[in-house]
Amino acid sequence: MEAFLADIEKRAYHMALLATSSHADALDLLQDSMIKLVTKYQDKPSNEWKPLFYRILQNRIRDWYRHQKVKNLLFFWKTDDDDDWPISSAEDVLGQTPEKDLGKQQQQAAALEHLQKLSPKQQQCFLLRSWEGLSVAETASIMTCSQGSVKTHYFRAVTKLRSLMEEGHDITF
């Protein structure tokens, strides 16, 4: 279990960070998900841990969104000043690479930026399908929606990413 958690924690943290845009909230969601997996599903076969873990994480993210909605309604006059985004910024990326790779690095930084602009479902669907390489059926099970919905979310995510990249950075795919 420890090896599994060590392997998955960075990607899961990234998913949570993209969803919440807050390092502290992302860590909380990650910790809750790990605790639930360890306490309730440790006895399950190890090949089931990954989809189970992502399902727990998705449920936590969904709960976080609902909580945020209520919080924003009740405390609409407050502004969030402590949003931190430790994911490498374009400057961090550009500062370390040779000039010939600059264009590609800029594109990658832009892609990350646009990924944040997707709706929560489109974003998470893209991460699970494309980045994690899960099947449509597995993604549908994790996101507790139909396979048709997964395909729709994924298609819309990719279309939106492409149009944002083409518009903002004069890139054609």
Partner 1 sequence: MTSPFEQESKSSDITQLTNRALDQSVNKLPDKTLADLAQVRAAALEYSKIKPEQPLAKRLYHYISDHLLVNITVPVAAALVVVFSMKYVTPNTIPAMPIAMLTNEVPTEDLAMLEDLEFITWLAKNEANTVL
Residues that bind partner 1 (CB under 8 A): 1-2, 5-6, 9-11, 13-14, 23, 27, 30-31, 34-35, 37-39, 42, 86-88, 92-93, 107-109, 111-112, 115, 126-127, 130-131, 158-159, 161-162, 165, 173
Measured CA to CA, the distance from residue 133 to residue 114 in angstroms comes to 20
165 and 107 Cβ atoms separated by less than 8 Å: yes
Smaller CB separation from partner 1, 30 or 140: 30
| Rounded least distance, CB 112 to partner 1, Å | 5
What CA–CA distance (Å, rounded) separates 118 from 49?
27
Smallest separation (angstroms) from partner 1 to the CB of 171: 9
SS3 at position 87: coil
Residue 110: count of CB within 10 angstroms of its CB: 17
Instruction: Estimate the crossing angle of helix 102-115 against helix 147-169, to 10 degrees.
Output: 130
Least Cβ distance, residue 75 to partner 1 (angstroms): 27
- Report CA 59 to chain centroid distance, whole Å: 13
Query: Rounded to whole angstroms, how far apart are CA atoms 173 and 163?
Result: 9
13 φ, ψ (degrees, to nearest 5): -60, -40
| d(C-alpha 97, C-alpha 7), whole Å | 27
Q: For partner 1, which is the closer residue by CB, 77 or 173? A: 173
Q: Which is nearer to partner 1, 27 or 136 (CB)?
A: 27
Tell me the closest approach of the beta carbon of residue 93 to partner 1, in angstroms.
7
Give the shortest CB-167-to-partner 1 separation in angstroms.
13
In the bound state with partner 1, the residue whose beta carbon lies nearer, of 21 and 130, is 130
Taking the least distance from each CB to partner 1, the nearer of 65 and 131 is 131
